[in-house]
Structure 1
Amino acid sequence: MESNPKVLIVGAGIGGIFLAILLQRAGIDYEIFERASQVKSLGSAMVTGPNILPVFEQLGLLEEVEKISKPLKCLNIYSGDKKLGSVDANSKERAGYHSMAFARKNLLSLLLSQVPPHKIHFGKKVLAMQEVGEGVSIRCSDNSNYVGDILVGADGAYSGVRQSLYKQLSRDNLLPKNDEEDLSMQYTCLVGTTDSLDTTKYPFLADEFCHFEIVLAEDSSESVACFTIPENRICWVYTNQLPSSAPQEYFRNSEWGPEAAQFMSEKIRHVKAPFGLTMAHLIDASQKEGISKVMLEEKFFETWYHRRTALIGDACHKMLPSAGQGAINAMQDATILANCINDIKKANVANISAGLKSYQKQRYQYAKTQFETSKRFAVIMGGQTWSDALIRKIVLSYMPKSLNVMRQDKLCAYRPQANFLAQAPIKGTISVLPQVPSKRYPVDPVVTV
């Protein structure tokens, strides 16, 4: 007898919601558990592109993404008032899709509109998990309990699901040493998005493409990045690189919370920003409740699943946001995981564990590559040590543009799709990598345009 598994998703961020949408399209039951009382619409800009937009096209959401976005053509980097160079980001001709820049909260709102409200349970902080009979159970801080066949931790860099899973694995001597180590703190940030600004004062906001600029401070470890998005708004990120000697235990991730933002906002008002602005201009034009202080950390975990439990997104590979790959990889995780869950014909622990093993096998190396790419881009875009400055000069001044094109093409060649839905056509001239076909349902053939 075939029986679709029921999936418990912990975390209502972009990865968790994207997984829910895919499971819903596959006819697989799920519930989402979010520790916050409501979904937080905080954060700054996000960029997505050819390696995930085909899935949005499959879901009928590509036009909606385009409405909230502006196409990104290049990144300009300055040191004070001096332009250091540019990095090309125009992927339309070769990959068939633009890289698109938008506010994080706009994408999250779009995704949430696709999920029935009764499927999301708020105020559910997961305290413990355990396997019970032929399923897996979670216990929440309000003493409620839920049982399903598969548990997915999509609850961020400090995932409660991961911590509970790793405690069990550690007790059984099954946890690699790397997974016992803390995340590495790299930067502290202040992020926000302005209200609509006056285009007579800032005419560049009316351009159809996204202006993406970074200004590096000449005499400190600070930098400011700005993206222009629809509705004449600017997404901004102030970043301060932490010294390598900073004690790791001193820092706490604020999970996009506004608790420490006010103090930091007052402290950095004088800092130069792109477009001839200062941080004071950007802060004063933004809603205070939408400004938050965050830590940027990184860590690539080796263990993504065990028996009935799987991890996606930041819970298993926390990337620096410099290359814009964190959310993209979370959605790629969700896509491949949905494919593997859909292939499970009978929800026993052996079949589920085999499906989750296939998920990690398909995703691990691609995510690892993007983790390393994000690390390198962080140096180019905001690194302030003398070695960072040397690497940035070499890349911007001496590296052939053809190498950047090759890097982009390799990135865009990997574009997984939901294998239980009609395939989006392959666009552009890049040869797209094949993916594992559905074991359960045939889909329409891929069309090249």
Structure 2
Amino acid sequence: MPLKVLIVGADVGTLTLALILEQAGIDFTLLESQESVPACAGGLVLHPTILPLLEQLSLRDDLLFTSQPLEQVALLDSKMGSIGGLDWSEWRLRYGAWSRFMTRIEYCNMVLEKLPEAKVLFQKAITQVSVLHNGQEYGSDDEQDNDPNHTSNEPGVDHIPLTFEGRRDSILDEIVEEKQMPASTTPPATAAAPPPPARGVTVECSDGSMYSGHILICNVGDSLQDKLAALDLDLGSDSHNSSPGASFTEGSQSKEIQYFLSGVTDTMDSQRYPLMKEDTTQLNLVLDDRSGLTWWAATLVDHRIAWQVTKRVRLSEKSAVPPRFGSPQDPSAIRSMCNHISPRMICPLGGTMSQLVEWTRTSNMACKRWERGFEPIVPAQAPPRVLFLGEAGRKTIPLFGEPGDETILDALSIAESLVSLRSKETKTVQAAIDSHHSARSQRRDLAIDESRSMDQLLRAGGPLRRLCRSVALNYTPKCMQDRMSDEKYAYRPQATFLHPVPDYGAVPPNVHSGRSRRSFGGCEKLPE
């Protein structure tokens, strides 16, 4: 039986993975609980690191049509005075492509159009996930071929009767308990024929439909975090995993929480915002050191504006952690964040942020939460044959597209591991998952360090820190900036199983994901 992958949840990472699997010839089914792609509103930055891969996936023309180059990011204070900026104007020459800016929803829909309709199923809410993990793959081709006593008349199906007690086998509930009846036992004539045994992972939906596969890949979104945090599986003594359960915090207390309110306006009058007439994206970021709020606005290709307001909440050991909200589209969370947007908050493109909120429909807004102390699922805690993918499952602070890039690179790494898979046994599948985590671990750690360094750089809270920020942004030698950028963006991987595309960069591409220093743009960690 060919390898079959089940994907739960549609987002930037999982949809990209589905397209890579489709190009690689690996069978998959993507299940989404909503009626359409529930991508969070807001902008998405795609950097040169992933653009060769997207060209391999035949997305180049679509990207040129739906996105604009992002050459510079201007940093301003609350009175619109210049603090500094990030200059990416030479990236087209050095790395073969500019960074591109577009909306998240447009990216997801762009990828969705390339996927077969029969493999992407909507309105499929998952109620139960069964993982067969007792060391024996009932019905797997490998073990049937190696078993001289196997006498099945139907290829790929083992007729050993199985009895499942209670079917409390969801990763969101409790455990799977299975009993194997002796081969000599004959089931009663009146008993119904037992269902075909699970081939690794079986997913049951609220409408009663069931889907089976050899590996399950779950999108870790805000609506899934609470369910995964309650994960408490007894994986069995023979399981690869020795540590049941999973925690989403490094300790009992989070140190900091950031709330992000994002939105995309309707089509605007270019006379009101002349910057929209430019053929490049104008992204301006405002840093208000006194209020703890930051906000940015950026022009889109079709005379719309993407914007975001960030509120930082610092917690002491005695502070109570604010409760989570249900989903990024939770109306109460959106209203709560809108209350923090003062009419005095100047929009860096003109007008005020309150006006942008008024010109944005609620359906085009989303509120996300990031916790310092958030602990993603790691291989030692995930059930066998289950892998988690998504920006919400990382400690990377969402700044300038870093989590989106890394999630797409995660999707490529997963696909590379699955393409090289030679067996569908649990130990072989788990070895492929471990290989993916090992290949991505170094770059994942570097991305976390870089996002923290940049976040610390931007949120200067005192005179000394503001001075360090000004020096880092305005007086760092260009040779040092180029060297740090080259170490990062020389890594431009392509799928080894797809036809390679030309690399147009003056800086040769690097096949290794690591970099020698853990800093962002030559800016070391600032003093506390």
Q: Same fold (TM over 0.5)?
A: yes
Q: In proportion to residue count, which structure has more strand?
A: 1
CA 1:417–1:434 in structure 2 vs 1: closer, same or farther (change >3 Å)? same
Contact 2:95 2:504 in 1 (8 A): yes
Q: Distance in 2 between matches of 1:249 and 1:224?
A: 24
Q: What CA deviation, in whole Å up to 9, does each residue of 1:308-356 have, x standing for no partner? A: 1222233642422113111111111111111111111232223212221
CA 1:25–1:396 in structure 2 vs 1: closer, same or farther (change >3 Å)? same
Equivalent residue, structure 2, for 1:65:
63
Contact 2:285 2:295 in 1 (8 A): yes
Q: Distance in 2 between matches of 1:69 and 1:178?
A: 38
Equivalent residue, structure 2, for 1:118:
118
Instruction: Supply the AA of the counterpart residue of 2:473.
Output: L
CA 1:384–1:302 in structure 2 vs 1: closer, same or farther (change >3 Å)? same
Equivalent residue, structure 1, for 2:461:
385
CA 1:93–1:179 in structure 2 vs 1: closer, same or farther (change >3 Å)? same
The farther-off stretch of 8-17 and 365-374 is 365-374
Equivalent residue, structure 1, for 2:155:
none
- What is the Cα deviation at residue 188 of structure 1? 1.4
Instruction: Supply the AA of the counterpart residue of 1:313.
Output: G
Equivalent residue, structure 2, for 1:423:
500
**Structure number with bigger Rg:** 2
Equivalent residue, structure 2, for 1:129:
129
Are 1:301 and 2:376 matched, yes or no? yes
Contact 1:4 1:344 in 2 (8 A): no
Instruction: Supply the AA of the counterpart residue of 1:12.
Output: A
Q: What CA deviation, in whole Å up to 9, does each residue of 1:69-119 have, x standing for no partner? A: 111111111112211111112311110111011111111110111122332
- What is the Cα deviation at residue 176 of structure 1? 9.8
The farther-off stretch of 90-99 and 389-398 is 389-398
Instruction: Supply the AA of the counterpart residue of 2:250.
Output: E
Instruction: Supply the AA of the counterpart residue of 1:145.
Output: M
Q: Distance in 2 between matches of 1:433 and 1:248?
A: 46
Q: How many equivalent pairs are there?
A: 433
Alignment of 1:272-283 (within 5 A): 272-283=346-357
Equivalent residue, structure 2, for 1:4:
2
- SS at structure 2 position matched to 1:242: strand
Q: What CA deviation, in whole Å up to 9, does each residue of 1:119-154 have, x standing for no partner? A: 223343434433234412234455543321011122
TM-score, normalised with respect to structure 1: 0.87
Are 1:313 and 2:390 matched, yes or no? yes
Contact 2:214 2:385 in 1 (8 A): yes
The farther-off stretch of 144-153 and 336-345 is 144-153
Q: Distance in 2 between matches of 1:161 and 1:414?
A: 35
Equivalent residue, structure 1, for 2:364:
290
Equivalent residue, structure 1, for 2:517:
none
Q: In proportion to residue count, which structure has more helix?
A: 1
Equivalent residue, structure 2, for 1:181:
250
Match of 1:234 among 294, 305, 315: 305
- What is the Cα deviation at residue 306 of structure 1? 5.2
Q: What CA deviation, in whole Å up to 9, does each residue of 1:383-436 have, x standing for no partner? A: 253376454234223432333222221121222222110012222122322269
Q: Distance in 2 between matches of 1:191 and 1:389?
A: 27
CA 1:215–1:229 in structure 2 vs 1: closer, same or farther (change >3 Å)? same
- What is the Cα deviation at residue 203 of structure 1? 1.4
Contact 2:293 2:309 in 1 (8 A): yes
Match of 1:329 among 406, 416, 427: 406
CA 1:165–1:258 in structure 2 vs 1: closer, same or farther (change >3 Å)? closer
Equivalent residue, structure 2, for 1:441:
none
Match of 2:51 among 37, 46, 53: 53
Contact 1:254 1:295 in 2 (8 A): no
- What is the Cα deviation at residue 307 of structure 1? 3.3
- What is the Cα deviation at residue 276 of structure 1? 3.3
CA 1:119–1:363 in structure 2 vs 1: closer, same or farther (change >3 Å)? same
Instruction: Supply the AA of the counterpart residue of 1:149.
Output: H
CA 1:322–1:268 in structure 2 vs 1: closer, same or farther (change >3 Å)? same
Identity %: 25
Contact 1:49 1:100 in 2 (8 A): yes
Q: What CA deviation, in whole Å up to 9, does each residue of 1:229-248 have, x standing for no partner? A: 10111110011111233846
Q: Distance in 1 between matches of 2:506 and 2:234?
A: 47
Equivalent residue, structure 2, for 1:262:
335
Alignment of 1:145-184 (within 5 A): 145-156=210-221, 158-159=224-225, 163=229, 167-168=233-234, 173-174=242-243, 181=250
The farther-off stretch of 195-204 and 312-321 is 312-321
- SS at structure 2 position matched to 1:426: coil
Contact 1:184 1:248 in 2 (8 A): no
- What is the Cα deviation at residue 164 of structure 1? 7.2
Equivalent residue, structure 1, for 2:261:
190
Q: Distance in 2 between matches of 1:37 and 1:177?
A: 30
Are 1:356 and 2:430 matched, yes or no? no
Cα-Cα RMSD: 2.8
Q: Distance in 2 between matches of 1:247 and 1:416?
A: 44
CA 1:184–1:95 in structure 2 vs 1: closer, same or farther (change >3 Å)? farther
Are 1:138 and 2:200 matched, yes or no? no
Equivalent residue, structure 2, for 1:84:
83
CA 1:290–1:268 in structure 2 vs 1: closer, same or farther (change >3 Å)? same
What are structure 1's unaligned runs of at least 5 residues?
437-449
CA 1:397–1:92 in structure 2 vs 1: closer, same or farther (change >3 Å)? same
Equivalent residue, structure 2, for 1:249:
321
TM-score, normalised with respect to structure 2: 0.75
The farther-off stretch of 199-208 and 305-314 is 305-314
